[in-house]
Amino acid sequence: MVETKIWQVDRTERHLENNPMIIEAAEILRQNDVVAFPTETVYGLGGNAKSDEAIQRIYTAKGRPSDNPLIVHVASKDQVDAICTDITPLARKLMNAFWPGPLTLVLPKRGDISTRVTAGLSTVAVRMPNDPIARAIISVANLPIAAPSANLSGKPSPTLAKHVIEDLNGKIAGIVDGGATGVGVESTVLDCTTTPFTILRPGGISKEQLIDVVGLVSDDPALTRTDQTPKAPGMKYKHYAPKALMYMVPKGKETIQALVNHDKEHGQRVGVLTTDENVHRYLNADVVISCGERAQLSTVAHQLYQTLREFDEANVDVIYSETFPDEGIGQAIMNRLSKAAAGRIIE
């Protein structure tokens, strides 16, 4: 166990680079230790992307498989040129359109990034976060920062500092508490070394938004395969999972209610993941939690991981989840639900 420092920082504060808590967190990163901090997507666990020692500390704290690559976070486009090579005009067009923001680009890497970051691949995943706290820490540290989600591997990603504390207190050097994150699901990961560019992980920037900027993009079939080295986080292992068995139920309300009734008769404690529009419909379930408005899927994305953690707190045995349109931000929501349910679906 180590002492984990917790700093509370107001992201609306001007000149965050001068905040002594930001400076202290950045100095810890420069010493090759690890610190959790908010981004606009989820909380990240940051470490010096050039340091094998720092990256090993990330893997150890999370219990994360070392063949699962990490995303490198930068504070400026100049840092990208220092760690990537052969950046195409189309890739730069995406940077100009969506950075800072929840888009990660997979690009050919230069040699000074730790091979533990890239899982031995010749590419590196890189993004510029839109959260002012994240960018201030990276800027003051003056390092590229590798930062997967700041949770124990396999658990729902953290959208509040309290989630990081629950998972990693005593395992990391510090946690910067900047309040709730915004998007709520991780960044979109786009492989820019293929023709056309390929979505490796759907996220905060939709496929439709990418097409508007660069034309055709494809979905990587490896999103549903586990027999190869992943090129991006979230491709290979079970992710985002609550403690209870979880099932997706595309047929909706009547089928879910029948499943609830059946499991209740057999002594199970049952949860239902739904939306504001349907939260009143599941009368017999032990725990019914809305993760947002079906009419506004950004609210579902924002609250999804918090909802999964609430089911853990409620100690349910099984969770039945409604499903969502697989387009726009819905593609990211369905990707995360599928992984949380380990692909279990009741047709």
Question: Based on the domain organization, do 67 and 194 belong to the same domain?
Answer: yes
Residues 336 and 184 sit within 8 Å (Cβ to Cβ)? no
Residues 102 and 199 in one domain: yes
**Residue written as token pair 């981004």:** 39
Query: 307 lies in a domain?
Result: yes
Q: Which of 165, 192, 224 represents a domain boundary (last residue)?
A: 224
* Spatial CA neighbour of 321 closest among 280, 283, 299, 291: 291
pLDDT of residue 1: 87
Structure tokens at 4: 């984990």
Residue 11 lies in a domain: yes
> What is the rounded average pLDDT of the residues 259-280?
97
Asked if residue 237 has pLDDT above 50, the reply is: no
For residue 38, pLDDT over 80 is answered with yes
Residue 170 CB: number of other CB atoms within 10 A?
10
CA gap 120, 135 in Å, rounded: 27
214 and 258, same domain (yes or no): no
Structural domain contains residue 255: yes
| Cβ atoms of 151 and 168 closer than 8 Å | yes
- Indicate if 131 and 187 belong to the same structural domain: yes
Average pLDDT over residues 160-165: 98
Binding-site residues from annotation for L-threonine: 41, 68, 73, 127, 147, 187
Provide the pLDDT for residue 240.
81
| Predicted confidence band of residue 323 (pLDDT cuts 50, 70, 90) | very high
Nearest Cα to Cα of residue 40 among 181, 175, 232, 226: 181
Based on the fold, state whether residues 220 and 103 are members of the same structural domain: yes
Judged against a pLDDT cut of 70, whether residue 233 lies above it is answered with no
Instruction: Say if residue 48's pLDDT is above 80.
Output: yes
Residues 154 and 269 in one domain: no
Report the percentage of the chain scoring pLDDT > 90: 89
- Contact call for residues 158 and 164 (beta carbons, < 8 A): yes
Q: Which domain holds residue 17?
A: 5-224
Do 135 and 220 have their domain in common? yes
Question: Does residue 149 carry a pLDDT above 80?
Answer: yes
Q: Do residues 200 and 189 make contact, with C-beta atoms less than 8 angstroms apart?
A: yes
How far is the CA of 343 from the CAs of 44, 248, 271, 335, in angstroms?
Answer: 25, 8, 18, 10
Q: What is the pLDDT of residue 28?
A: 98
**Structural domains in the chain (count):** 2
Among the three residues 224, 257, 286, which one is the final residue of a domain in this structure?
224
Query: Is it the case that residue 64 has pLDDT exceeding 90?
Result: no
160 — pLDDT class (breaks 50, 70, 90): very high
pLDDT at 83: 95
Confidence of residue 167 (pLDDT cuts 50, 70, 90): very high
Mean pLDDT of 291-305: 97
Report yes or no on 232 lying in a domain: no
Q: What is the CATH number of the domain that holds 306?
A: 3.40.50.11030
> Minimal CA–CA distance to 187: which of 128, 242, 133, 115?
128
Rounded-to-integer distance, Cα 198 and Cα 190, Å: 6
Candidates 115, 93, 119, 145; CA nearest to 236 is: 119
Task: Mark whether 270 and 303 lie in a shared domain.
Answer: yes
Residue 226: which pLDDT band, with cuts at 50, 70 and 90?
Answer: very low
| pLDDT bucket at 114, cuts 50 / 70 / 90 | very high
Q: Answer yes or no: do 148 and 293 share one domain.
A: no
In a domain, 62, yes or no: yes
What dihedral angle (degrees, nearest 10) is formed by the CA atoms of 109, 111, 117, 118?
50
190 and 134 in one domain? yes
Q: Closest Cα partner for 42 from 139, 151, 117?
A: 151
Q: Which residues are annotated as a binding site?
A: 41, 64, 68, 73, 123, 127, 147, 149, 157, 187, 201, 240
Residues 6+ apart with CB under 8 A from 92: none
| Sign of torsion over alpha carbons 25, 29, 35, 36 | positive
Residues 217 and 249 in one domain: no
Q: Which residues face 287 on adjacent strands?
A: 271
Annotated binding site for ATP: 64, 123, 149, 157, 201, 240
Distance CA 172, CA 32 (A): 12
Q: How far are the Cα atoms of 184, 192, 196, 205 from residue 327, in angstroms, in the given order? A: 17, 21, 19, 11
**Residue partners of 70: CB distance under 8 A and separation at least 6:** 49, 55, 58, 117, 118, 125, 146, 147, 148, 233
Tell me which residue of 63, 2, 10 sits closest to 33, measured CA to CA: 2
231 part of a folded domain = no
The model's pTM? 0.93
CA angle at 46 for the pair 30 and 291, rounded to the nearest 5°:
160
Indicate the pLDDT class of residue 232, thresholds 50, 70 and 90.
Answer: low
Please give the helix or strand (H or E) that residue 79 lies within, else none.
helix 77-83
CATH number of the domain to which 49 belongs: 3.90.870.10
Task: Please name every residue paired with 271 in a beta bridge, in sequence order, or none if there are none.
Answer: 287, 319
pLDDT digits (tens, 9 = 90+) for 257-266: 999 999 999 9
| Within-domain flag for 50 | yes
In a domain, residue 346? The reply is no
Both 107 and 198 in one domain: the answer is yes
